[in-house]
Amino acid sequence: MRIRLLPLATAAFCLPLFALAPAADARAGMGSSMGSRGSRTWSAPPQTSVAPSWTRPMDRSMTPRTPSYSAPSAGSSFGRQAAPAFGSSARPPFAMRHPFLTGLAGGFLGAGLFGMLSGHGFFSGFSGAGGGGGSFFGFIIQVLVIAFIINLIIKFWRKRSASSSTSSSTDGSSPFTAAGGASPFSGQSQQAPSQEVSLTSDDYSAFQQLLVNVQAAWSAQDMMSLQRMATPEMVSYFNNQLSELTSRGARNIVSDVQFLRGDLSEAWREGSITYATVALQYSAIDVTTDSMGHVLDGSKTERQTITELWTFLRADGRGNWILSAIQQAG
């Protein structure tokens, strides 16, 4: 019995150690998607030959997601149709569109009812108290004349309404679209239109060097160096992840980083900021150890191949690219 219980006791003893072990992806970013890409933060980067599959959306970002649907606020009359405002596309009722005709018809109806109540018939209100046959034919002539006038007025109002609706549709500005047609990015903010830009070989060299330098600063837990190479948002994420490792008594070291290949996904400008999202494939030794140097995850000898999309930004005229986001390739 004691021999059978020994493996169970050993497993129960080791269980807390497995719970404290960090995730397998322990490099800078710890295998998550985080950061900001300007107005394209929540839109998927275009596929490349290095990253031909899907890209994981942001797990963490300080850029608010622009909702495609605005839920009704508390106290709003959700489910009830609001009254159309003046000048809206909703067509007002006939009485509002033609108050003169409505009042004229009401006058005829009132005169006829007055004649009926006074005992002289419906048409006596138009012809006086006599109410003879001549008066009846005179009333018919009046009705025809009035009907002709009403018809002219209706045609006049229709032409006026048609001309006003045409002018309102041509005076409004068209919605923003990218050059050559509609924007290819469904999640792109229309309030911050962007412009595509071209990059040089020096830019690609800077991206490769940043890849190596960021991983080296991450392994050394050098926050000062990370602050010079990444946005404050990314530095805050790195700081939280390194603090989490420290609280577990662990340390991650990424060494011998070798760039394999890369491909530009997209590069654009928003105001004075230029963004570039690049698919990067590299290999490295990624190992996590405890305070005594014992391996908790990864290997000190076997290399890992990683493919990620890194977004860099720089202020025009200031030169240096800095890391703005990391996303995992599918």
284 and 205, same domain (yes or no): yes
Longest dimension (CA), the chain: 127
Q: Which residue has the tokens 């109806």?
A: 109
Whether 171 maps to a domain, the answer reads: no
Instruction: Name the domain count of the chain.
Output: 2
Helix, coil or strand: residue 122: coil
Coil vs helix vs strand at 299: coil
56 and 197 inside one domain: yes
DSSP state of 36: -
154 and 266 share a domain?
Answer: no
Judge contact between 217 and 238, C-beta under 8 A.
no
CA angle 75, 79, 83 (to 5 degrees): 85
d(CA 26, CA 31): 7
Does position 231 have pLDDT exceeding 90, yes or no?
A: yes
Residue 196 bridge partners (DSSP): 268
Same-domain pairing of 204 and 316: yes
275-296 mean pLDDT: 95
Question: Are 231 and 306 found together in one domain?
Answer: yes
φ and ψ at residue 276, rounded to 5 degrees? -145, 125
Q: Are 199 and 312 in contact (CB under 8 A)?
A: no
Q: What is the mean pLDDT of the chain?
A: 74
Among the candidates 161, 183, 202, a domain finishes at 161
Asked if 275 and 38 count as a contact pair (C-beta separation under 8 A), the reply is yes
Residues 315 and 198 in one domain: yes
Percent above pLDDT 70 for the chain: 58
Residue 266 makes CB contacts below 8 A (sequence gap 6+) with 40, 45, 46, 196, 276, 277
pLDDT tens, 30-83?
Answer: 999 999 999 999 999 999 999 999 999 999 999 998 764 333 333 333 333 333
Domain around 118: 94-161
* 85 found inside a domain: no
First-last CA distance in the chain: 49
Q: Does residue 267 register a pLDDT over 80?
A: yes
The reply to whether 182 falls in a domain is no
Residue 40 and residue 129 in one domain: no
Q: Taking the model in full, what pTM does it have?
A: 0.58
